[in-house]
Structures are given as structure tokens and as C-alpha cells.
């Protein structure tokens, strides 16, 4: 089978399709759009055949024709050849120095990236500060080794891009649902302090009362709000919020007791009171000495599963077990799904069953 990329010893170039990339002053360069059709295993072989240890292939994200070796920096993700292996190298600019008084941040970086990389079948092999500057900010390099099986070079590039987003979030606090989940898994919930609650994030300082029906309904409603919303969300138990003008901010950590039965009790409460079960719902925790945070991650749900129904409701402080409640997240609050919306969904489904088509 013909390789998707190869090294041409005669011209000392990388050849893929009808494209040929020759060695430039900075090394070999490619455009990000060219990575889609190149197999990762072929890429490793081509680099091993034509590059010395430590040589890199730099990836240009902008206009390739305008790229200039001397004046235009390549993107923050490159590929490194070392001893026949292929590594994704990412660069992150931070104010952290390797000789900080509080100790080198390398251990924190490794901890923050660990769960993310494990989820993507990758491992962090090397972390190093580029010591060519006298003052902050400093550049750190991270070398990531990925499983190449059934992957394109674009897949590896996206893993590198995700690592950068996570490290930037760790340094600056600008978070997404995905990076927040990875920070929680790595035990860095403190990065959330000062961040606003919003359309995809909700915190609670203590456990839901899972010994009571009201508490079980409450957690089911909390999850259903995100399941019925467009972008999903995360419920974090073990952090305090604080009301401020215009909303609510995450104020502090407030670890809760966690034992071997905690996650199962949350799962059981949802199984009893939430229907249908959300796709790929994760219930996890990070615990130290029996105290920690519990977090429930609700990915965006298929429209055909909505609305998610909660069996039971709390009306004027009283539990109404026969009621059905439907809510979804909007901003920092919740809104009920209206009767017309419910009726139109039911009517469309019945029409589809009866006539094989949905009415206008």
C-alpha cells in the first residue's frame, strides 16, 4: 500500500500527494490543512528516514504563501523526531519560572495534563522551560507521545491544541466545559475560584440530601437542566458560590465527605428520578483523605432524547411524587419548558408514528 507521506532522499524533501516540502531555514514546514490525509504511522516513518534526532516539522496555521522563516512564527504545535519516535511538541507562554520560590511548576503541569492525555491515549514525556529570555513571560515546551494507531497527523495536532487550551486555562483561568472537566479530574478545582457560574457550570457547597426524596429530586433536576440545555454542563459538589452584582462567582473550595458508596448513591438517585438516562453521563470525584469534590458531567445530548423528565417535583416546599418536572438551564438560572413546547413535541412524535411524517 502506498504511503500517505514519504521522505525523498534525492531531493531531501517530504512528499505527500502532489506536494513536496523542502528543508527551510527553520526546518520542514507544513500547513495545518495538509495534515488531514496523512497517516500518523507513515509520518513517523518519513521523519525517521530523513531527519536527525531533535529536528522538528513546524505547522503553519495562517496563509502558507505568506509564511516567512525569519519574520513569521509558525504555530504553537510542531512534530519532533527523536530516536525514531514521533512526538507532539507544544509551546505555552506563562509567567511561571522553573526556579520559582514555590518550586518548579513542572509537577503541576504534569498533573494538570495527565487525565486529558490519558483520555486521548497519550503521555507527557518531557517538560522544559526554554531558557533564552531574561524576564517573564517564559516559554515552556511539552513533548507528548501519542498512540499512532488508526490516527492521522491531524488527530495528533488536535491533541496538542487541546493540551495548549488546558495549560492556558490552568494559567489564566479562562475555562471551557472540556478544560474544566480535565482540571477537576486532575485535582485542580481551585482553578475555578473566581470564575462565574453560568450556562454550563453549577456549584454546590454540600451534598444533596440523598436520604430524602426531595434531595433525590433536586439532583435529578440539576442534571436535567444541563441535559435539556444546548451545550450540556457540569455540576460540582464541594465548592461555594457567592452572589455578586450581575450573577454568582465561585468563591472557595468546600470539600465534602466522599466514601466508596457516594458515587453509587448519586447514580441511584438519578436512575430513580431522571428519564431517559443522559448519554455518556459521568459521575466522578477527586478525593484526598476522605474529603473532596464530586462532579457530574453532562455532555450535550441528542435532540431526539429531549426533553429529559424528572419524576417528582417540589411544590411550595412539599414533595409531589406523582408530578413530572421539566427544566433547562439558561444563564445562571433555570427556566421551565413550556406547555406548548411539550405539546408540540408529543404531537410531532404521534404524527410520525401514525403517518410516517412530521406535520409543519
Q: Which own/partner pairs from 6-10 qualify as long-range (CB within 8 Å, at least 24 positions apart)?
A: 6/42, 6/45, 6/46, 6/49, 7/46, 7/47, 7/49, 7/50, 7/51, 9/49, 9/50
Nearest-angstrom CA–CA distance, 122 and 6? 24
Measuring CA to CA, which residue among 250, 248, 192, 228 is closest to residue 307?
228
Sheet order of strands, 13-16 included:
6-8, 13-16, 19-22
Q: What is the model's pLDDT at position 8?
A: 95
Q: What is the model's pLDDT at position 334?
A: 47
The number of C-alpha atoms within 13 Å of 8 and in the hemisphere containing its C-beta is 16
| DSSP-based three-state secondary structure for 317 | coil
Measuring CA to CA, which residue among 89, 145, 90 is closest to residue 120?
145
Average pLDDT of adjacent 10-residue blocks, the chain of 360 residues: 92 94 88 96 96 93 83 88 96 82 78 90 94 79 97 97 89 83 91 88 96 94 93 96 89 96 97 95 96 97 91 76 69 52 66 63
Measuring CA to CA, which residue among 213, 240, 172, 229 is closest to residue 313?
213
| DSSP-based three-state secondary structure for 167 | helix
Q: What is the model's pLDDT at position 74?
A: 85
Q: Determine the CATH number of domain 196-355.
A: 3.30.950
Q: Report the 10 Å Cβ neighbour count for 65.
A: 7
Q: What is the model's pLDDT at position 262?
A: 97
Q: Give the DSSP H/E element, type plus range, for residue 117.
A: helix 106-119
Q: What is the model's pLDDT at position 290?
A: 95
Q: Where are the domains of the chain?
A: 6-172, 196-355
DSSP 258-274: --TTHHHHHHHHHHHHE
Q: What is the model's pLDDT at position 174?
A: 77
Nearest-angstrom CA–CA distance, 116 and 182? 6
Q: What is the model's pLDDT at position 313?
A: 79
Q: What is the model's pLDDT at position 141?
A: 94
Amino acid at each position: 500500500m502506498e504511503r500517505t507521506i514519504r521522505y525523498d532522499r534525492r531531493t531531501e524533501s517530504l512528499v505527500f500527494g502532489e506536494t513536496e516540502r523542502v528543508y527551510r531555514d527553520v526546518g520542514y514546514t507544513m500547513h495545518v490543512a495538509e495534515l488531514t490525509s496523512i497517516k500518523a504511522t507513515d509520518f513517523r516513518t518519513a521523519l525517521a528516514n530523513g531527519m536527525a534526532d531533535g529536528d522538528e516539522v513546524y505547522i503553519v496555521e495562517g496563509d502558507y504563501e505568506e509564511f516567512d522563516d525569519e519574520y513569521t512564527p509558525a504555530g504553537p504545535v510542531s512534530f519532533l523526531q527523536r530516536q525514531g519516535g514521533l512526538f507532539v511538541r507544544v509551546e505555552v507562554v506563562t509567567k511561571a519560572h522553573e526556579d520559582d520560590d514555590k518550586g518548579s511548576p513542572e509537577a503541576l503541569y504534569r498533573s494538570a495534563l495527565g487525565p486529558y492525555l490519558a483520555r486521548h491515549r497519550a503521555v507527557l514525556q518531557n517538560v522544559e522551560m526554554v531558557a533564552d529570555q531574561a524576564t517573564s513571560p517564559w516559554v515552556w515546551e511539552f513533548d507528548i507521545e501519542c498512540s499512532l494507531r488508526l490516527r492521522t497527523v491531524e488527530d495528533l495536532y488536535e491533541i496538542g491544541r487541546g493540551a495548549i487550551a488546558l495549560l492556558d486555562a490552568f494559567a489564566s483561568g479562562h475555562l471551557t466545559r472540556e478544560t474544566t472537566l480535565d482540571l477537576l479530574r486532575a485535582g485542580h478545582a481551585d482553578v475555578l475560584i473566581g470564575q462565574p457560574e453560568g450556562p454550563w457550570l453549577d456549584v454546590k457547597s454540600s451534598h444533596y440530601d440523598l436520604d430524602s426524596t426531595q434531595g433525590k429530586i433536586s439532583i435529578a433536576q440539576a442534571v436535567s437542566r444541563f441535559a435539556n440545555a444546548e451545550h450540556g454542563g457540569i455540576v460540582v459538589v464541594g465548592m461555594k458560590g457567592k452572589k455578586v452584582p450581575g450573577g454568582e462567582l465561585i468563591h472557595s473550595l468546600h470539600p465534602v465527605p466522599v466514601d466508596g458508596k457516594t458515587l453509587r448513591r448519586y447514580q441511584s438517585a438519578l436512575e430513580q428520578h431522571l428519564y431517559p438516562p443522559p448519554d455518556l453521563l459521568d459521575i466522578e470525584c477527586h478525593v484526598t483523605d476522605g474529603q473532596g469534590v464530586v462532579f457530574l458531567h453532562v455532555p450535550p445530548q441528542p435532540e431526539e432524547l429531549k426533553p429529559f423528565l424528572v419524576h417528582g417535583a417540589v411544590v411550595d416546599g412539599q414533595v409531589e411524587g406523582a408530578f413530572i418536572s421539566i427544566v433547562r438551564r439558561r444563564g445562571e438560572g433555570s427556566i421551565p419548558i413550556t406547555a406548548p413546547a411539550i405539546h408540540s413535541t408529543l404531537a410531532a412524535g404521534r404524527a410520525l408514528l401514525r403517518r410516517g411524517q412530521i406535520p409543519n
